[in-house]
Amino acid sequence: MPSVLLSLFINVELAESTLELATQDMKSFQDSVDIGEARYKAGDVGLDDLLKLKLQMLPIPDGRVRGAALPGARTLGSPATARI
């Protein structure tokens, strides 16, 4: 019984930290889009670059956000030997 409770506690802690990291990622992406919009309005970047940034904010079917992980980065639960 104690090992089940410990396992549940660890799972809750992991879920909370995953949520916190996801929230930070979304804020970082939104900051990037805000900067991109300002640069577009100033004429520093083209519309295509701004749209690329905005596309990264769109969710994909499994709920993740495009660009939320760096290419080649592993996510929790993914095998270390996964190929991209």
Which residue segment(s) compose the domain that 54 sits in?
25-58
Residue 59's beta-bridge partner residues? Answer: 65
Q: 63 in a domain, yes or no?
A: no
pTM of the entire structure?
0.58
Count: domains in the chain:
1
When pLDDT is averaged across residues 9-24 and rounded to a whole number, the result is: 93
Q: 82 in a domain, yes or no?
A: no
> Distance from CA of residue 17 to its chain's centroid?
13
Q: 69 in a domain, yes or no?
A: no
Share of the chain above pLDDT 90, in %: 44
- pLDDT tens, position by position, 40-54: 999 999 999 999 888
Q: 68 in a domain, yes or no?
A: no
Q: 64 in a domain, yes or no?
A: no
When pLDDT is averaged across residues 59-76 and rounded to a whole number, the result is: 54
When pLDDT is averaged across residues 61-82 and rounded to a whole number, the result is: 49
Q: 43 in a domain, yes or no?
A: yes
Q: 51 in a domain, yes or no?
A: yes
